[in-house]
Structure 1
Amino acid sequence: MRLLFPLLAITTFASAEDWPEFRGPSSQGQTAVTGLPTEWNPDFKKNILWKAPVPGIGWSSPVVVGDRIYLTSAVAAGGTDKPEVDRSLRTLCLQAADGKVVWDVEVFVQPKDAPQVHKKNSHASPTPVHEDGKLYVHFGHQGSACLNAADGSVVWKTQAFAYNPVHGNGGSPVIEGGLFIFNADADVNPSVIALDKTTGKQVWKFARVSEAKNKFSFSTPLMIEVNGQRQLISAGSGVVNALDPQTGKEIWKARYDQGYSVVPRPLYAHGMIYVTTGYGKPVALAIRADGKGDVTDTHIAWKIEKFVPHNPSMVVVGDELYFVADNGVLTCADVKTGTVHYQERCTGPISASILHADGRLYLQDEKGLGVVVQPGKSFRILAKNDMKERSLASYAVVENDFLIRTESHLWRVGK
């Protein structure tokens, strides 16, 4: 892999904030990093530090620890991406300084008769998790693995938890204590599964029960703490469950009828969980997180039913909740009451999650248009930046720069 654009100025990573999982160190699309750019242009190389080709297809977001970047991809056999071919499910490590490959390893081979994916999905959509020198990768129904982050060598891998997916894989895993946890929301017998992170062996399995006719979903769990108790918040079709992460026992649940194919990761702020209910008719719900048992009738504080996302995850900034519908309409609402301050057209069709960084909101639509918005109760666009390449992956942050994954490349964007 060669450097296509000259490196402008990369300083030390000593004070940088790592980006170890989907939606960053907060798990909720927030970063304390400052000095991020608001403008970039690939045609004029404005604020483009480097551009690196990425083999295959994958919509996992990059993760960053120190001076290394990690991401996954699915490389079709024979260099063609026809639907019925074997695929090499791979993990790559790149140098943050210049995008050059440090290592590139095959984790699994996906056979050509494997279930096919939705046109907006890929065979490598879940984002890895990095912890203590280990990289945990997940390919949904195709398997999970733990790799040594230094060289990509396999610590363990397993395909013991296969299931029949609808539209392919999606949700990313989380690490909690000694556990590697992921949603396995198949159309039949959906569940949440916890593995021993040192061995890959099952520790517990929670059977998700709901009234939804379509059981499949693709959300990523969120770890929170309420009154000294850890909770694993896991959204699926028809229901969001709060589980004891060590045992898999349910603490509370809130039902939302027939909502299915839930994608956005839950949020936690101001003592409430914010979720969207998926396809059918998406609804945004605010649920007080201190309940026990079925809290559907007691703990749902408010709901919004217009311009709610199917795919992009939301973000909270202060007392405002922001979410963007798949058609590009951005909503700003009061987190405590659900009062809508505005709903305005912001981007084109969008799947990537919103990032709040350096006092701004960053959004990236499916055609590669990056839109920068000023947070607040009135709508104000600060900049628009067109990468001119299809993009469904969410942003990551490396030092004072962005990593933007497009269909064929990874870009480092910074001043």
Structure 2
Amino acid sequence: MKNSLQVFLAVIALTVSGLATDWPRFRGPNGAGVSETSSLPTEFGPEKNLIWRVALPPGHSSPILAGGRIFLTAYQGDRLLTFSLDRSSGQILWRREAPRDRKEPLDTRNSPASPTPVSDGKNIYAFFGDYGLVSYGLDGNERWRTPVGPFTNVYGMGVSPVLVDDKVVLVCDQSKGSFIAAFGQKDGKLRWKTPRPEALSGHSTPGVIRDASGRSLILAPSSFRMDAYSAETGESVWFLHGLASEMKSLPIVDGETIYINGYNTPENDPGKQVAIAPFEDVLKQNDANKDGKISKEEAPDQRTKTLFKFLALNNDGVLDADEWKTYAAAMRREFVDGH
């Protein structure tokens, strides 16, 4: 939100059994967006079925429910905040500030507090792109903090952490150096980290399934591809191609079926892929200052100029041979480094 206050509304008059229903992560249990709560009102607004209302600082974090409390993140000036509210009254029970080591560039549609926290019912785990992970007990006492980043996502970070077995799992897709990592729920220490070189952008929060042997697999969509990672080791157990280039939505699991959608530019549609000239040829014709790189002003066509901020993976204002290779591969729906 662009205004100075984010208004948070609790509009549902719940039964006692409904109040006990938790919503522990982004889009609820395993991200399905489905609640078993019954007897919810079909109409609500400022004058109807409103229980309470409280003003909070801005942010894009979704609220989660754990026991009788609501948790969400926000920002106020330079401060990165996590809030705990009483679910029945809206009273702010505590507010905690996370470290802020940097200010990364953000798309105007994003904010420093976009990721939704996650809870195991006993503790809270929050992720901020300008710092990393922080964990609190339900009482607000900080348990641990773990720096992660910095990042090079042209939109800024928006992915939410999830809990898998005894780990906090975070997918960090960005312009360069994408990875998935797992941290111990008890201490925040890194358990494993797996590169995702095919992922060039995205904010898709992962889902979880179990294979025939009962082991947990983490479903993580990326550019043109989705991997299923072992929660124990971080190894990619299987993957599939055919996804869109921009993945923002999370995978939805329904029995043995997985649903996933994404966004494609028209140039990525089958049969419409654009052939990108070899970098050596572009340098010969367009490298006016002969520095072996291509600036936005030297870009050979309007498409490249329009996409330039997404292509300059190093954020240095020019394209080198590796960045051009990634550009060409993306336009062909292919992958770099053998992927």
Kindly state the Cα deviation for residue 14 of structure 1 after the two structures are TM-superposed: 8.0
Partner of 1:74: 75
Alignment of 1:283-294 (within 5 A): none
Q: Quickly say closer, same or farther: Cα 1:281–1:24, change in 2 above 3 A.
A: farther
Partner of 1:106: 97
Partner of 2:35: 31
Q: Do 2:66 and 2:121's aligned partners in 1 also have CA atoms closer than 8 Å?
A: no
Kindly state the Cα deviation for residue 110 of structure 1 after the two structures are TM-superposed: 5.4
Match of 1:278 among 253, 256, 263: 263
The amino acid of 1:254's aligned partner reads L
Partner of 1:22: 26
Instruction: Report % sequence identity.
Output: 29
Partner of 1:123: 112
Kindly state the Cα deviation for residue 170 of structure 1 after the two structures are TM-superposed: 0.7
For the pair 1:91 / 2:93, whether they are aligned, the reply is no
How far apart, in 1, do the equivalents of 2:61 and 2:233 lie? 28
Q: Do 2:133 and 2:148's aligned partners in 1 also have CA atoms closer than 8 Å?
A: no
Q: Quickly say closer, same or farther: Cα 1:65–1:5, change in 2 above 3 A.
A: closer
Partner of 1:186: 174
Q: Do 2:123 and 2:138's aligned partners in 1 also have CA atoms closer than 8 Å?
A: yes
1:355-407 CA-partner distances (Å, limit 9, x unpaired): xxxxxxxxxxxxxxxxxxxxxxxxxxxxxxxxxxxxxxxxxxxxxxxxxxxxx
Which consecutive residues of structure 2, in runs of 5 or more, have no partner in the other structure?
Answer: 1-6, 271-339
Kindly state the Cα deviation for residue 230 of structure 1 after the two structures are TM-superposed: 2.1
Partner of 1:387: none
How far apart, in 2, do the equivalents of 1:14 and 1:173 lie? 25
Q: Quickly say closer, same or farther: Cα 1:261–1:110, change in 2 above 3 A.
A: farther
- TM-score (normalised: structure 2): 0.71
1:306-325 CA-partner distances (Å, limit 9, x unpaired): xxxxxxxxxxxxxxxxxxxx
Kindly state the Cα deviation for residue 209 of structure 1 after the two structures are TM-superposed: 3.1
Q: Do 1:173 and 1:183's aligned partners in 2 also have CA atoms closer than 8 Å?
A: yes
Match of 1:139 among 98, 112, 128: 128
Partner of 1:268: 253
Kindly state the Cα deviation for residue 4 of structure 1 after the two structures are TM-superposed: 11
Q: Do 2:85 and 2:93's aligned partners in 1 also have CA atoms closer than 8 Å?
A: yes
For the pair 1:238 / 2:240, whether they are aligned, the reply is no
Q: Do 1:140 and 1:184's aligned partners in 2 also have CA atoms closer than 8 Å?
A: no
Which consecutive residues of structure 1, in runs of 5 or more, have no partner in the other structure?
Answer: 77-86, 284-302, 304-415
Runs of 4+ in structure 1 deviating by more than 3 angstroms, as ranges, are 3-15
Q: Do 1:70 and 1:91's aligned partners in 2 also have CA atoms closer than 8 Å?
A: yes
Pick the structure with greater CA Rg: 2
How far apart, in 1, do the equivalents of 2:85 and 2:172 lie? 29
Partner of 1:166: 154
For the pair 1:196 / 2:196, whether they are aligned, the reply is no
For the pair 1:64 / 2:65, whether they are aligned, the reply is yes
1:130-186 CA-partner distances (Å, limit 9, x unpaired): 114110001135311111122x22111121443222211211111112211010101
Secondary structure of the residue that 2:232 maps to in structure 1? coil
Q: Do 1:10 and 1:97's aligned partners in 2 also have CA atoms closer than 8 Å?
A: no
Q: Do 1:276 and 1:282's aligned partners in 2 also have CA atoms closer than 8 Å?
A: no
Name the one with the larger strand percent. 1
How far apart, in 2, do the equivalents of 1:4 and 1:276 lie? 29
How far apart, in 2, do the equivalents of 1:280 and 1:8 lie? 39
The amino acid of 1:100's aligned partner reads Q
The amino acid of 2:240's aligned partner reads A
The amino acid of 1:181's aligned partner reads V
Q: Quickly say closer, same or farther: Cα 1:32–1:73, change in 2 above 3 A.
A: same
Q: Quickly say closer, same or farther: Cα 1:7–1:255, change in 2 above 3 A.
A: closer
Q: Quickly say closer, same or farther: Cα 1:95–1:251, change in 2 above 3 A.
A: same
1:336-372 CA-partner distances (Å, limit 9, x unpaired): xxxxxxxxxxxxxxxxxxxxxxxxxxxxxxxxxxxxx
Kindly state the Cα deviation for residue 74 of structure 1 after the two structures are TM-superposed: 1.2
For the pair 1:52 / 2:54, whether they are aligned, the reply is yes
The amino acid of 1:154's aligned partner reads E
The amino acid of 2:72's aligned partner reads L
Name the one with the larger helix percent. 2
Q: Quickly say closer, same or farther: Cα 1:29–1:123, change in 2 above 3 A.
A: same
Q: Do 1:65 and 1:130's aligned partners in 2 also have CA atoms closer than 8 Å?
A: yes
How far apart, in 2, do the equivalents of 1:145 and 1:5 lie? 26
Q: Which has the higher contact order (CA 8 A, sep 6+)?
A: 1
Q: Quickly say closer, same or farther: Cα 1:260–1:88, change in 2 above 3 A.
A: farther
Q: Quickly say closer, same or farther: Cα 1:133–1:277, change in 2 above 3 A.
A: same
1:216-237 CA-partner distances (Å, limit 9, x unpaired): 1101010111323421100112
- TM-score (normalised: structure 1): 0.58
Partner of 1:156: 144
Partner of 2:299: none
The amino acid of 1:221's aligned partner reads P
How many residue pairs were aligned? 264
How far apart, in 1, do the equivalents of 2:13 and 2:255 lie? 39
Q: Quickly say closer, same or farther: Cα 1:10–1:31, change in 2 above 3 A.
A: closer
